[in-house]
Amino acid sequence: MAKRSRPAYEHLRLTDAIQPGVRLLLVGINPGVLSATTGHHFAGPTNRFWGLLYDSGLVPEPITHEDDVRLPQWGIGMTNLIARPSPGIDVLTPREYVDGWRILEQKIDRFRPRIVAFVGVTMYRALWKVLGHAKAPDVTPGLQHATVHGARIFVLPNPSGRNAHFSYDEMLKAFTDLARAVKRLR
């Protein structure tokens, strides 16, 4: 039996875009293959993330995945829960979620954002037990009742082109609600 080779992208990792003073920390679940190979967050051609950031008012000008390093200039940080890239989340293991949470919690403690926004309802549901709750709630986009190191938790729909659960207008409403929450912090 031939030994299965590892994907060429598996060793790649994205650089966090976080600096002291960020008010908002955006957390993706893990990099997709295109993000890993380009070195930029949310790089997929069908991903609506960057348009939603601008259309919601979170950033003052249209930007693309190549501008991810600029986010801290607007008080926004970006990281992923799980560093390992994959073509989908179905290959991620429960252990990776737990290990990723431990690392993320350290980042939240270090940078002290006022809001941590999970980009994906599914990710927040998967983390629910890690966050200390016995039963997973019915999660909807928006501010949650949980906090981590004083940061409010916000859940956004996943803007990937693979996510057919939310229309652009529904996603835009959630991103706009996040922009309002961030503005209230000023």
What pLDDT does 42 receive? Answer: 93
Count CB neighbours of 57 within 10 A: 14
Torsion, Cα 85 105 40 18, to 10 degrees, reads -160
One digit per residue, the tens of pLDDT, for the chain of length 186 reads 555 677 777 877 899 999 999 999 999 999 988 999 999 999 988 889 999 999 999 999 999 999 999 999 999 999 999 999 988 888 888 889 989 999 999 999 999 999 999 999 988 888 876 666 677 677 899 999 889 999 999 999 989 766 668 899 999 999 999 999 999 987
What domains can be seen in the chain, in order of their start residue? 24-184 (3.40.470.10)
- At residue 79, φ and ψ (nearest 5 deg) are -150, 180
